[in-house]
Amino acid sequence: MTIKAVFFDVGQTLLSPAPDGEAFCATANSIGIKLTKEMVLEHTPAMYQRYEQHYLSDSSFWDDHLRARAVWLDAYGLLYRLLGLEEQAEQLALMAYQFYFNPGAWHLYDDVLATLTTLQKRGIKLGLISNWDSSLIPVIEGLGISEFFSTIIASADVGMHKPEPGIFKLALDRLQVQADEALHVGDHITADVEGARSAGLHAVLIDRNNRHPEYREVPRITGLEPLPQMVE
């Protein structure tokens, strides 16, 4: 097996909110409502669970910017309601959503730059395939890593989403590689692992928070450090 291209998911693979919870504190504080990170983090599991419910019910919302926006507004609104801010929830949800269009709202994991640099120096083509809205390219450019990628695909920009095989095949076409010459790395078993394999790509599960310690269907890593050696 010779790997000529490596594709990456984005959220929880290369980036995380920086720091988690900051957006919700900052937006509330900006209109005179005091929230602490501890108060927010108590309810973020319910917020992410609401998102996952939408995803499992009908993940096609990622095909369209406005539908994706509606899902996040619903999840963020739930968070603020759980914090007792029923009257302000809609306004604050919109403010939080807009907060994440700012590259400064995101943090690159410490292993990202070294991994991308090593793979690029070896002549491996790199790309991004993400279920994301229209803010993806500005965020990636703002974080200073766009130069590593030969293609950046946000689902809402192309009208396809993971785990649909079509979005992976589009990426392969753009980089002019065959499926068995490509590897996809992501954190979501359904979207990333099963999606990539359905299109014929090799897959690696990145499990930074150790949520799937027993998973054995494909190689599982908890950080990107082992990836260059795996590709080699």
Can you give the residue ranges of every domain in the chain? 5-16+105-231, 19-104
Is residue 191 scored above 90 in pLDDT? yes
Q: Report the alpha-carbon distance of residue 20 to residue 209 in Å, rounded.
A: 14
CATH code given to domain 5-16+105-231 = 3.40.50.1000
Lowest-confidence segment of 19-23, 52-56, 63-67, 111-115 by average pLDDT: 19-23
CA distances from 174 to 24, 142, 153, 199 (A): 37, 23, 10, 15
CATH class of 19-104: mainly alpha
In the beta sheet, which residues pair with residue 153?
129
**Position 19 confidence tier, pLDDT thresholds 50, 70, 90:** confident
Half-sphere exposure (Cβ direction) of 163: Cα atoms closer than 13 Å: 19
